C-alpha cells in the first residue's frame, strides 16, 4: 500500500473563489481509478508553514503510476496546482515492515 500525501500553501485566501475552485477540482481526483481514502486536509499545527494537504492511498505502484499519468490528474496539475499552489512538499510512503 502506498500513502501519497502533498502538503502545501495556497496563493489565495481560503475564502476566495480561486481557493474554492481549487478544492472543487481537487475533490474530483478521488474519481480516478485506484484512488482510495482520498482526503482534503487543513493544517492545525501553527508551527507548520503549510496550510493544507491532500492524502490518498493506492494498492500498489502500478495504480499510483496510473493516477500520476491519468489525464484528469495531469489537467489538475496544469490548470490548478501550477496556478494556485505557493509551496509544497510531496511524500509517498509504504508501510515499514519492522
**Burial class of 91 by CB neighbour count within 10 A (0 to 12, 13 to 18, 19+):** exposed
Q: How far is CA 25 from CA 46, 48, 78, in A?
A: 26, 25, 12
CATH value of 2-94 in 3.40.50.300, 3.30.479.30, 3.40.50.720, 3.30.70.100: 3.30.70.100
Domain ranges of the chain: 2-94
- Give the predicted TM-score (pTM) of the model: 0.91
What pLDDT shows up at residue 95? 85
What pLDDT shows up at residue 97? 82
pLDDT in tens, 13-61: 989 999 999 999 999 999 999 999 999 999 999 899 999 999 999 999 9
- Grid cell for residue 71: 489525464
Confidence of residue 69 (pLDDT cuts 50, 70, 90): very high
Amino acid at each position: 500500500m502506498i500513502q501519497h500525501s502533498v502538503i502545501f500553501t495556497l496563493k489565495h485566501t481560503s475564502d476566495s473563489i480561486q481557493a474554492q475552485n481549487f478544492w472543487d477540482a481537487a475533490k474530483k481526483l478521488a474519481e480516478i481509478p485506484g484512488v482510495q481514502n482520498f482526503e482534503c486536509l487543513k493544517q492545525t499545527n501553527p508551527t507548520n508553514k503549510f496550510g493544507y494537504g491532500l492524502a490518498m492511498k493506492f494498492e500498489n505502484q502500478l495504480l499510483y503510476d496510473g493516477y500520476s499519468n491519468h489525464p484528469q490528474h495531469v489537467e489538475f496539475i496544469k490548470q490548478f496546482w501550477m496556478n494556485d499552489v505557493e509551496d509544497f512538499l510531496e511524500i509517498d510512503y509504504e508501510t515499514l515492515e519492522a
